[in-house]
């Protein structure tokens, strides 16, 4: 699921993790920018859900319901939301845990009455967004899965719709069954997508991660060599001061969870038609959310 956007100015934000206060601030800023002709689309980089205990009230479900009501990711909408790893696990009934903290069951308890609606919304979220100018936007960043990819691999990922040979997650979509997550992880498809969505970037791969960024940019260019991907924007990993460059060709953005304080939270404002040559140029397009 790879989408393209040809025109317009994009306000990009990341990793809300159920923070309703930041969500409302994002909407306030976006509507102000749009009224001034400075933004045309609002892009969420995924991980809308799963608040960390003690940080703030968990408004994950309320945020998702609002985005569904506003027809996010539909053709007429000016709101785009990419799939993050925290949404991904609910599609496939995967119990996501970090230390003693288990994320999945809490949110699953809240969506029992309307699980199918919520999960189908997650299933419609693109994996990546490509601008005409060559900016590749996703949630997690790169991984070690893109180095030797063929056109067949690219087409599979571009058209992926969560409905392959493995379909247990669809047949049981109205209720949560962790055993299905275990079954999915034992498939080639599940193993691949886990690496794509759940890896730790340079914290996991070390200096090799910089080469993986190049691999992903080449991978995402396979069907559009006249408009090559030149830079990557992602979230996924916290940034104390809201944005940072990872090598020459990746910007990591943090708009909510993962920043030191509210005044460090950032959003990115770019033009879909403009070419950005490196991560420093993107860093200069970051602005304070508060």
- 263-282 residue pLDDT tens: 999 999 999 999 999 999 99
Rounded to the nearest integer, the mean pLDDT of the chain is 94
62: pLDDT confidence band, cut at 50, 70 and 90?
very high
Contacts of 23-28 with C-beta under 8 Å, sequence gap 24+, read 23/59, 23/63, 23/66, 25/289, 25/290, 26/255, 26/267, 26/289
For position 237, which CATH number holds? 3.60.21.10
Mean pLDDT to the nearest integer, 5-23: 97
Rounded average pLDDT over 104-122:
94
Q: Among 48, 91, 52, which Cα is nearest to 66's?
A: 48
Q: What is the distance between the alpha carbons of residues 186 and 189, in angstroms, rounded to a whole number?
A: 8
pTM of the model: 0.94
What's the pLDDT at 100? 74
Q: In which band, very low, low, confident or very high, does the pLDDT at 52 lie, cut at 50, 70 and 90?
A: confident
Collapsing DSSP to helix, strand or coil, 181 comes out as: helix
Q: Is the pLDDT reported for residue 54 higher than 90?
A: no
Confidence of residue 152 (pLDDT cuts 50, 70, 90): confident
Whether the CA torsion 7, 8, 11, 15 is positive or negative: it is negative
Instruction: Name the pLDDT band for 130 (thresholds 50, 70, 90).
Output: very high
How confident is the model over 134-161, as a mean pLDDT? 92
Cβ-Cβ contacts under 8 Å for 193 (sequence gap 6 or more): 88
Q: What percent of the chain has pLDDT over 70?
A: 99
Does residue 166 carry a pLDDT above 90?
A: no
Residue 102 confidence (pLDDT) above 90: no
Parent domain of 167: 2-288
Instruction: Identify which has the larger pLDDT, 53 or 25.
Output: 25
Residue 223 has pLDDT above 80, yes or no: yes
What number is the average pLDDT over the span 93-110?
A: 86
pLDDT of 151 strictly over 90: no
The DSSP result for 90-117, as a single string, is HHTT---EETTEE-HHHHHHHTGGGHHH
How many domains does the structure of the chain reveal? 1
Mean pLDDT of the 246-269 span: 96
């Amino acid at each position: 699921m790879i989408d393209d956007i040809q025109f317009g100015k994009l306000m990009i934000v990341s990793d809300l993790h159920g923070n309703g206060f930041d969500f409302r601030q994002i909407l306030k800023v976006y509507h102000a920018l749009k009224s001034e002709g400075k933004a045309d689309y609002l892009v969420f980089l995924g991980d809308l859900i799963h608040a960390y205990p003690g940080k703030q009230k968990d408004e994950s479900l309320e945020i998702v319901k609002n985005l569904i009501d506003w027809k996010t990711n539909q053709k007429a909408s000016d709101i785009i939301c990419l799939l993050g790893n925290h949404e991904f696990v609910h599609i496939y009934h995967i119990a996501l845990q970090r230390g003693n903290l288990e994320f999945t069951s809490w949110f699953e308890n809240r969506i029992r009455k309307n699980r199918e609606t919520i999960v189908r919304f997650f299933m419609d979220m693109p994996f990546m967004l490509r601008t005409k100018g060559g900016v590749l936007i996703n949630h997690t960043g790169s991984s070690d899965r893109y180095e030797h990819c063929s056109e067949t691999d690219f087409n599979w990922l571009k058209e992926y719709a969560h409905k392959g040979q493995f379909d247990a997650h669809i047949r049981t979509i109205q209720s949560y069954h962790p055993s299905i997550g275990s079954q999915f992880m034992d498939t080639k498809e599940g193993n691949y997508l886990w690496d794509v969505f759940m890896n730790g970037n340079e914290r996991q791969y070390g200096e090799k991660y910089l080469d993986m960024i190049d691999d992903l940019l080449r991978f995402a260019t396979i069907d559009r060599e006249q408009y090559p991907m030149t830079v990557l924007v992602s979230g996924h990993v916290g940034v104390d001061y809201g944005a940072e460059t990872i090598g020459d060709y990746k910007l990591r953005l943090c708009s909510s969870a993962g920043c030191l304080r509210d005044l460090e939270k950032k959003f990115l404002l770019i033009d879909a038609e403009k070419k950005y040559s490196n991560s420093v140029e993107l860093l200069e397009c970051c602005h304070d959310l508060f």
